[in-house]
Structure 1
Amino acid sequence: MFQKAMLIYNGNAGQRDAEKILSQTAPILASKIPKLFLYQTQKPGDAEHFCRQHGEEVELVIIMGGDGTVHEAINGLAPLDKRPSLAILPAGTCNDFARSLDIPLNLKQAAELIAFSGMEKEVDLVATDHRYFSNFWGTGLIAAASESIDDASKGIFGRLSYYMSALKTLSEQDRFTFRLEFDDRVIEEEAVMLLFMNGKSIGATEFPMDSIKMNDGLINILVVKEAGFTLLKEIFTAKTSVDWEENEDTITQYKTSACRVSLSSTKTIDLDGEHYKGEHDELTVLHNHISVIVPTPEPL
């Protein structure tokens, strides 16, 4: 069991909300972790700073927040020589990292998982020219949809806002030219969306692809050549794995451990929901780079 941990929580969530969440989770965690230090974020970048500054002083970092806070934590922990384990108390809109690892979205259950029943699982991270990411790198349709979501609709509609925005953006999205270099291959094509996936959940939607594993040392490349409402509906509503080979006229899939991406112009790049501008990027999978508290598999 962990002897020393720090809990980072979003101080901008509102004093009453923060107190309520902490009252549900902190006593559970403190019952099993003798030294539990609380760090409250006040502005963007605080979570990353706390992780980079104090990460090597503790055995466990617990993040209470959404994908943005998790993204900051990943970028604070990934460069450290001595990385602590990571645990998530999902408190965001989509919680894609938590969903990808089957972490309970109920805060009390997530706290109990950390304190009593969870196990450590090593997962991959991906280093890029811009940042590190845990879930996905995307440009084109995915970035345009994410970028067009305003805070008001996100707060009111939650995960539905991502779908609404995607549908709105779909008809407005132009093709762009890209170049991929990986495994002695060079691919130059046009697409409406380019997606590198390490996790299986984006916008609270689980992509129905069995080949996506967070600890296989590989990243899935998804090239959407021709988007349509039928394709988008299939991704959002599929209950079983989609046979992507049937959609090769609209989707191409590859897997690799490293790739160089060149875009025809500077575009918005979406890393786990955070936006950056770029034209070139180098992506390298860091195999089993961080250990995360996840549910223990049920016996067969």
Structure 2
Amino acid sequence: MKICTLFNGRSGGAQVIGPQVKQLAERDGFCWIPIDQLQDDEELIDVLKAEKPDRVILVGGDGTISRSLSTLSSPPGLQFGIIPTGTGNDLARSLDIPLSDVEAAWDLAVNGEAKAMDILETSIDEPKLLMNAVTAGIGGVVAEEIQTETKERYGALAYWMSAFSVLSDPPVFRIRLKLDQGEVIEEEAYAFCVANGRCAGGGFVIAPTAQLNDGKIHVTVLPALSTIELFESGINFVLTNEDAERRIVTYDAQEVQFEASPDVPCSLDGEKATFASMKFRIVPGARMVVGGPGAAFGENA
């Protein structure tokens, strides 16, 4: 099996982890491609066409991984391993990839079994495809407020610090969600999430039952609550993955459309943007991705 390694030197932990991963790639005789030094995605595609690898190891954060998986759509059987070096590393969490053991993550990326993973297709041109989740409302505000230096210093804790700051005075959005061709949800909400994976925002478990190959989009809605209700529901949901009082509501669908007023800040696999509306549909089994023994793949993987 021929393997190439794609490295993003601009990701959160790249300067610490990058040299170690490069040594492992050189030890195993794999080509090393610093994608942050390439001009654009077309140059990356041309490089890989010339190399013709069977598997590509992606070294970077959620944004790098999502963009690379989106860009590299051929050949159809191309496999992907992941070495997470970002701040949130949320897709890596769903894939059960070691976050603090580079050699273990490398061994998994090189030798692990690749399985077919769903992806999200959006109604916008950039990004057209997403791998993990869109968080809107509070999650989008948090993504906007986190400074680069804060992410570098505190890592995933930066998301929690910013989230508690936003929760002191959360914005309220009027949202309309249409699921498939039927159910419509209209309400005032602090946040909602459209997810393929289980985690967002640096480890918040927003879709605990999601599987990366179930052919479903998982939608979580946090309705506008009183301050006491908000903290009770949020803490219960994050710490126990239970929603006994059904204040935080979850839905499954294959297609989702949202409209929001006012325009809602979003984080799309870590990339910031603001939208009034967007559509999503699930694309089953679109990428072959390596996961660990506890990866969120169902029995049909």
Please indicate the TM-score interval, normalised by the length of the shorter structure: 0.7 to 0.9
Normalised by the length of structure 2, the TM-score is 0.84
Of residues 219-228 and 133-142 in structure 1, the stretch that sits farther from structure 2 once superposed is 219-228
Task: Give deviations 1:164-188, integer Å, cap 9, x for gaps.
Answer: 1000011222211111222322222
**Which one of the candidate residues 131, 135, 139 is aligned to 2:132?**
135
1:26 match: 25
Distance 1:107 1:49 in 2: 29
Distance 1:146 1:278 in 2: 14
Q: How does 1:1-300 map to 2 (within 5 A)?
A: 2-3=1-2, 5-12=3-10, 18-23=18-23, 25-27=24-26, 29-30=28-29, 36-42=30-36, 46=40, 48-49=41-42, 51-55=44-48, 57-78=52-73, 80=74, 82=76, 84-105=78-99, 106-116=101-111, 118-130=112-124, 131=127, 132-183=129-180, 184-207=182-205, 209-227=207-225, 228-238=230-240, 241-242=241-242, 244=243, 246-248=244-246, 250-296=247-293
Q: Indicate the SS of the match to 2:113.
A: strand
Q: CA deviation at 1:71?
A: 2.0
Q: For 2:62, give the aligned amino acid.
A: D
- Contact kept, 8 Å, 2:57 with 2:81, in 1: the verdict is yes
Q: How many residues align structurally? A: 282
Task: Give deviations 1:240-289, integer Å, cap 9, x for gaps.
Answer: x41x2x232x3221100111111223222211111122212110101011
Q: For 2:176, give the aligned amino acid.
A: R
Distance 2:15 2:158 in 1: 26
Distance 1:55 1:44 in 2: 12
2:299 match: none
- Contact kept, 8 Å, 2:174 with 2:188, in 1: the verdict is yes
- Contact kept, 8 Å, 1:7 with 1:38, in 2: the verdict is yes
Q: Do the aligned partners of residues 102 and 237 (structure 1) sit closer, same or farther apart at CA in structure 2, a change above 3 Å counting? A: same
Q: Do the aligned partners of residues 120 and 186 (structure 1) sit closer, same or farther apart at CA in structure 2, a change above 3 Å counting? A: same
Identical aligned residues as a percent = 26
Q: Do the aligned partners of residues 191 and 43 (structure 1) sit closer, same or farther apart at CA in structure 2, a change above 3 Å counting? A: farther
Q: CA deviation at 1:161?
A: 0.9
- Contact kept, 8 Å, 1:91 with 1:107, in 2: the verdict is no
Q: For 1:7, give the aligned amino acid.
A: T
- Contact kept, 8 Å, 1:260 with 1:280, in 2: the verdict is yes
Q: Do the aligned partners of residues 261 and 285 (structure 1) sit closer, same or farther apart at CA in structure 2, a change above 3 Å counting? A: same
Q: For 1:199, give the aligned amino acid.
A: G
Q: Indicate the SS of the match to 2:143.
A: helix
Q: For 1:274, give the aligned amino acid.
A: E
Q: For 1:196, give the aligned amino acid.
A: V
- Contact kept, 8 Å, 2:25 with 2:31, in 1: the verdict is no
Structure 1 gap segments, 5+ residues each: 31-35
Normalised by the length of structure 1, the TM-score is 0.84
RMSD over equivalenced CA pairs, Å: 2.5
Q: Indicate the SS of the match to 1:295.
A: coil
Distance 1:108 1:50 in 2: 29
Q: For 2:19, give the aligned amino acid.
A: E
Q: For 2:175, give the aligned amino acid.
A: F
- Contact kept, 8 Å, 2:96 with 2:293, in 1: the verdict is no
Q: For 1:233, give the aligned amino acid.
A: I
Q: Indicate the SS of the match to 1:247.
A: coil
Q: CA deviation at 1:115?
A: 2.7
Task: Give deviations 1:8-63, integer Å, cap 9, x for gaps.
Answer: 1123467786334311x214543xxxxx33211336985x4455445553321211
Q: Indicate the SS of the match to 2:98.
A: coil
1:33 match: none
Q: CA deviation at 1:193?
A: 0.3
Distance 2:46 2:136 in 1: 31
- Contact kept, 8 Å, 1:215 with 1:287, in 2: the verdict is yes
- Contact kept, 8 Å, 1:226 with 1:251, in 2: the verdict is no
Q: Indicate the SS of the match to 1:26.
A: helix
Distance 1:279 1:44 in 2: 33
Q: Indicate the SS of the match to 2:291.
A: strand
Q: Do the aligned partners of residues 169 and 29 (structure 1) sit closer, same or farther apart at CA in structure 2, a change above 3 Å counting? A: farther
Q: CA deviation at 1:149?
A: 0.6
Task: Give deviations 1:94-139, integer Å, cap 9, x for gaps.
Answer: 21111111012221111111333x1111111001123211111121
